[in-house]
Structure 1
Amino acid sequence: MEITLLGFNDFHGHLEPPGVAVTATGASGKSVAVPAGGAAYLAGAIAARRSANKHTAVVTAGDMVGASPMVSSLFLDEPTVEALNLMGVDFSATGNHEYDQGSQELLRLQNGGCEKFTAKQPCQISKPFKGAQFPFLAANTLRADGTSLLQGTGVKFFEENGARIGVGFIGMTLRTTPRMVRPSGVAGLSFADEADTANRLIPALRAQGADVIVVLIHEGGYATSGLQDASCAGLSGDILPILDRLSPDVDVVISGHTHQAYLCDYRRVNPSKPFLLTSAGRYGTLLTEVQLKVDTGSRKVMHKSARQIIVQGEAIASGSGKVPLQPEFPVFGADAAVSQLVSTYHSSVAPLAAQASGVLMGGASRTPGKAGERVLGRLVADSMLYATHDLASGGAQIAFTNPGGVRADLLPDAATGVVTYGQLYAVLPFGNNLVVASFTGEQIQRLLEQQFASGTNTVTQPRILQVSRGFSYGFDLSGPAGQRIVDMRLDGAPIQMTETYRIAIQSYLSTGGDNFSVFTEGKDVMGGMLDLDALVAYVGEGTAQQPLALPLAARIERLD
């Protein structure tokens, strides 16, 4: 029996085409930029591939919601859940972003209803919101009493000529989710080891009739192999230790979190682990098609393969110009029902999104430089300092923002330099409040050291905080832990270890987000406005006569 799995991950509510091109190899052997994404086209691609094989399951590896564009997040990601319903998703693992608004809101997305658990109003368009028509799988997310928050596993059965084959799915998020979500979002929850959880659940799935075992996990890696290359070349990342402890009974691992696209026949890495590993990048630009050939007598998988399908639907405009359709790759039609859904929500949000919010001198990118700084990261940090520097607002002298909280490049209109509210919303979609607190110079040094030595922040994968104007420092990754930060300065004067400084951060960091626990030590804490409102006010200083200049000069120096 031929069984098809269609998988994707890290959709992040990108209902409209995200303006992303996928680099692929064309027939001539040259690299080609292929425009990709958009929920209606993703639904079209799923429908096209489902029509090729009636034995198909559609699954995701998490982060379907959260950190979403305005057209979804302004409505608490209800439209994304509704789009996934229309696509016919069978099972969806939870990612860390599913917990952004707390477990009660996650349960509302699953079960439906209009109960309010956040600052935003639910059921603005859908009255009532019916919830996901597929199970969120969260096998390793546990309540205080040890029970699962959500369903952990599921089985889908396929029948042909009297034979019946069951495919069992285990869905999990990464166990370090509490380090990536504000504490209130995961209050009362714990996250068990991923490999231990999957291995423990396989016998129960077998007892339910599962002949094939598939793990949907929101953890991932990186690879240097090409888009359709399953050689596992350069495979690295936090998923590897999990894979090496997974039972060899697992047939397929569909992963996510790193926003990378890869295919990997993992036997090439570890011959004792003969599963297929996949990830479909981000934002619905790719759909991974896994083909399984199952012998109905032995009920074993005899062959498995995978390929990446580029979700090409329409030409896009990018920062470097228009990306046309590439006819040598499939072009998918838009699903009518999903198109109508997206149009409804777009129409509701369009007037607010289109409002001009200021004028920039050029585009601000999230691309990191040598020291991990980003032009847009500096701009956001500057806006936070702008909103909090006066005494009435906290008297901030320095501002820090985490790079993961900045979610989209800021590209003004090429002719006028105008940026819209919708663009600024896409940059800061989380709705964090600004917080100003007092820290000593010694604490500032310790928190900066945590960029390289705290949880998932390591020397090989540092998490560089973006800093506001006036503050500067250097770092040397070849130095010993705790001694990598040097020459901290504020307005040219050395930071004094015993002196107290007022620091502006977002509420996410103030509770220790991204493993920066030192931020929880702040004194004389004062709350402030939304970070988005601060950015809107700051960018609003730019006018047609005097556009806002971009912070291009480096503030952090890498010394090694």
Structure 2
Amino acid sequence: MSHHRSIGALASGCLALAVTFTPALATAQPNQTATQRLKDLQVLSITDFHGALETGGTVTVDGVRVPAGGAAYLATHLKQLRARQPRTVTFSTADNVGASPLISAAFHDEPTIEALNLLGVDASTIGNHEFDAGQSELLRLINGGCLPAGSAAGNRTSCPDGTFGGADFPFVVSNVFYADTDETILPPYTVINERGIKIGVIGAVLEQTPDIVTAAGVAGLEFTDEVTAINRASAELTARGVNTQFVLVHEGARPDTTAYTADCADGTTVSGPVIEIAEDIAPAVDLVMTGHSHQAWVCSIDDPAGQPRLVTQAMSSGRIITEHNLQYDPRTKDVVRASAHATNHLVTRDVAPDPRLQRHVDRYAALVQPIANRVIGTLTAPADRTPAPGFGDSPLGNLIADGQLADPTVVGTFGEPVIAFMNPGGIRADLDAGEVTYGEAFAVQPFSNYLVSLTLTGDQIYTLLAQQVTGANSPASGGYTKILQVSEGFTYTLGATGAIEGSVTLNGTPIDRSASYRIVTNNFLADGGDGFPVFSSGTDRYFGGVDIDAFAEHLATTSPVTPPASGRIVLG
């Protein structure tokens, strides 16, 4: 049973980027003698790094987009922050890998694990993207070892030096089990001794991970309620005498949504499933660090005992470091929450890059150049993933869907597909006009999913279109609307609960609910991912090639390409 439910506003305080926040506690401040014995402890956190070795992109500050991130610059900022405190630890709240730029993905994200080692990460949990290539590959990245010969297929290779040592730090997760067992796939927690301070670090990933990754990636695993698993681990740590406890949970919240809302002290609102999770985590936990939603915020959320507790998130792609400043009481062996405060720091690129990290990045940048620089086609105009006002499809989404429909590898014994569906979350970058390189195309589709053709009835297609705005994708239940991008010739009008009856057409002919239609999509969606379970009911499955290869081939064979205009999906 999931603990997620609709709740009212929480009494919380949240502040945004580059500000310091200290929760106002109802408990008394420590006296002078107690203050003198307290030890300062700095906790640094990053999240959703996604292999962003060269740059994290930009952050908007006072209306201006500021370049941010990059592993070498992140290392410098971490070093500067650590210089402030002798006792310091650094954590990641996961999605370290997956959806990575080509510089990391071309080497199966081994460069990212090596970079995190150099960055001095002390522990990490796992996120949904750690399962993109399945549990075996996740464990290989943690434990080390090379993929077997032949892994270079699809412009990827493993161990360019012949060896890969894996992570130098522990990964923890308390709520992922081997199916039908009580055994977690990784330790539920670790204990770090930082200059005499014992810190219990508990990990968890969102319970809904199987809904947003491929079925093959999580086969044989069971994802359980986050709070139940965290609280079990917390009780074990308490029994071991470890009173200072932190949680790394890969679940998030973002501004201006509707479910699980926390009204913040400065008038802003942050909402999402992690708000409720944080409210229910055992009072023994002193700090909750989150991820997944790629936002930067610092909040105070009451624990079950009614005491405020810091809950934070550090954006994504190495653009933000959250610094938590805590005080530890050696007598109680616990953190004094009354003095806790946190600050989100922008990882600017106006500092000297760390030499070791820069050499690491430069090496892999050189190794990937022959692949990245190969021109595969040209565009006569920019291809953007943002739909025009009033439409649910985008020029880039249309272009990708058209390429999937044209891919010959998905034409098997069951017939040729007539409709393609592409999930918008799988489109990760825009394309400029002019020449398009493989590296640029890869940035658009970095997951290397397989294409799958299957058969749906017209009635199932109507159900599919309704699932874009209902069920797991209903904003009212805490989800996010996901409008699938579609191929040329398929059109409809989308209403509040699905496609308007009779508006769904293929090449001008209304879809017949009782007829069968051959469609193509990626294996993530075909397995019911992103809250589209009707895909998993499709019949006569036939696996084709990799999605990025279909996109690259479509650009190559149709260039120069004019991106298809929005208008296939009208928002009613």
What's the TM-score once normalised by structure 2's chain length? 0.85
State the partner residue of 1:187: 219
State the partner residue of 2:170: 135
Gap regions ≥5 residues in structure 1: 26-30, 314-330
Change (3 A) 1:342 1:259: same
State the partner residue of 2:61: 24
Aligned-partner Cα distance in 2 for 1:293–1:9 = 23
Pairing 1:255–2:290 present: yes
The question of whether the paired residues in 1 share the 8 Å contact of 2:410 and 2:545 is answered with: no
Q: Which has the higher contact order (CA 8 A, sep 6+)?
A: 2
Change (3 A) 1:236 1:294: same
Selected match of 1:294 from 328, 346, 351: 328
State the partner residue of 1:325: none
- Taking the TM superposition and a 5 Å limit, the aligned residue runs for 1:116-515 are 116=148, 119-120=151-152, 123-144=158-179, 145-159=181-195, 164-223=196-255, 231=266, 233-267=268-302, 272-298=306-332, 299-301=334-336, 302-313=338-349, 331-369=350-388, 370-388=390-408, 394-412=415-433, 417-458=434-475, 461-477=480-496, 479=497, 487-515=503-531
State the partner residue of 1:13: 51
CA deviation string 1:170-195 (max 9, x = no partner): 11110111111111111111111111
State the percentage of identical aligned residues: 39
State the partner residue of 2:32: none
Gap regions ≥5 residues in structure 2: 1-38, 258-263
Q: Which letter does structure 2 place at the counterpart of 1:245? A: D
The question of whether the paired residues in 2 share the 8 Å contact of 1:389 and 1:397 is answered with: no
CA deviation string 1:325-378 (max 9, x = no partner): xxxxxx332111111111111111111101111111222223355554333222
The question of whether the paired residues in 1 share the 8 Å contact of 2:474 and 2:480 is answered with: yes
Pairing 1:2–2:40 present: yes
State the partner residue of 1:44: 76
Change (3 A) 1:399 1:283: same
Aligned-partner Cα distance in 1 for 2:135–2:267 = 36
The question of whether the paired residues in 2 share the 8 Å contact of 1:75 and 1:124 is answered with: yes
How many corresponding residue pairs?
Answer: 518
State the partner residue of 2:27: none
Pairing 1:99–2:134 present: no
The question of whether the paired residues in 1 share the 8 Å contact of 2:391 and 2:568 is answered with: no
Secondary structure in 2 matching 1:452:
coil
Q: Which letter does structure 2 place at the counterpart of 1:11? A: F
Q: Which letter does structure 2 place at the counterpart of 1:532? A: I
CA deviation string 1:269-313 (max 9, x = no partner): 999251111111111111111111233334342311111111111
Aligned-partner Cα distance in 2 for 1:131–1:232 = 44
Aligned-partner Cα distance in 1 for 2:422–2:543 = 16
Pairing 1:538–2:557 present: no
The question of whether the paired residues in 1 share the 8 Å contact of 2:231 and 2:282 is answered with: yes
Question: Deviation of residue 435 (structure 1)?
Answer: 1.6
Change (3 A) 1:357 1:497: same
Selected match of 2:146 from 114, 135, 142: 114
What's the TM-score once normalised by structure 1's chain length? 0.87
Change (3 A) 1:373 1:276: farther
The question of whether the paired residues in 1 share the 8 Å contact of 2:453 and 2:541 is answered with: yes
Secondary structure in 2 matching 1:540:
helix
Question: Deviation of residue 486 (structure 1)?
Answer: 5.3
CA deviation string 1:83-119 (max 9, x = no partner): 0000110001100000111111111111111244995
Question: Deviation of residue 13 (structure 1)?
Answer: 0.6
CA deviation string 1:493-520 (max 9, x = no partner): 1111112212111122222222322212
Question: Deviation of residue 392 (structure 1)?
Answer: 6.6
The question of whether the paired residues in 2 share the 8 Å contact of 1:223 and 1:262 is answered with: no
Secondary structure in 2 matching 1:487:
coil
Change (3 A) 1:497 1:45: same
Q: Which letter does structure 1 place at the counterpart of 2:493? A: G
Secondary structure in 1 matching 2:118:
helix
The question of whether the paired residues in 2 share the 8 Å contact of 1:232 and 1:264 is answered with: no
Aligned-partner Cα distance in 2 for 1:485–1:260 = 37
Aligned-partner Cα distance in 2 for 1:550–1:519 = 27
When structure 1 is superposed on structure 2, of 177-186 and 232-241 the one drifting more is: 232-241
Aligned-partner Cα distance in 1 for 2:482–2:307 = 31
The question of whether the paired residues in 2 share the 8 Å contact of 1:366 and 1:376 is answered with: yes
Aligned-partner Cα distance in 1 for 2:411–2:224 = 45
Secondary structure in 1 matching 2:270:
coil
State the partner residue of 1:321: none
When structure 1 is superposed on structure 2, of 484-493 and 47-56 the one drifting more is: 484-493
The question of whether the paired residues in 2 share the 8 Å contact of 1:230 and 1:263 is answered with: no
Change (3 A) 1:104 1:122: farther
The question of whether the paired residues in 2 share the 8 Å contact of 1:451 and 1:458 is answered with: no
State the partner residue of 1:322: none
Aligned-partner Cα distance in 2 for 1:34–1:92 = 28
Selected match of 2:99 from 67, 80, 100: 67
The question of whether the paired residues in 2 share the 8 Å contact of 1:251 and 1:276 is answered with: yes
State the partner residue of 1:551: 564
Aligned-partner Cα distance in 2 for 1:486–1:535 = 31
Question: Deviation of residue 531 (structure 1)?
Answer: 1.2
The question of whether the paired residues in 2 share the 8 Å contact of 1:437 and 1:503 is answered with: yes
